Chain A
């Protein structure tokens, strides 16, 4: 189970993501970021596969660093990375592959994924949740 929703922000973009597992939380963040990048456009043929291996200080940093790494590849390769295959995942490490699909142009110039207001916690229903703010 996972979801994302856009929350109003004065200057930039932010999403609130909820999921029942850490992996689903990463996917929710990815889907929210991709919705921002793609807007009303559509992605084309598969053009890229990337491998990501990241260490981080904690579960929140891992989420932000993961999204930031995917964003970098998206910008460099002009792709949208939508399919995530996790090989290994802990609160401080991820090893994964993603498949990327060509985009003609992005709807939004997402400069960065910030740590602002990001704090992964488990709520009363034991679901993982956090805000993610994108500098646009």
Chain B
């Protein structure tokens, strides 16, 4: 009985340029790239009749975009679920505040920050009747806090940015103003 053997580990393919193969000979010269013996110029494989330069599948831009959207959506759903769990655990903090409003502004902040592919992102409630969405780009940390008050239709927000634990930026304004401020900071840093 032949015992089941573990599958060999798949090695990445060796890419061979057709020109190299045309230089092979039968005298034992090994091609450094492949370690195999060469062949005379008269023996050529039919599939090498034209030079191949593309050895991987070529995705079009829409396919790449779809993959990135899937990735961002996965992260978005994870952070939303995390926030919802935390909100449910401490929803008494937001007594008198419409829950849909809290989720709405929270989701906008999360989505906006995710657009710029942070290395880490989280969303949480605070005892100050506010939510805070934090996103990290390496050791630059953003904290976007939004306060809720039944008397305020548009909530007030603050944006604090830290680098190596030191606060380097601090500003407040209504939610749309802070959203715009965040976007301008991120877009200008990408230029």
A associates with B: no
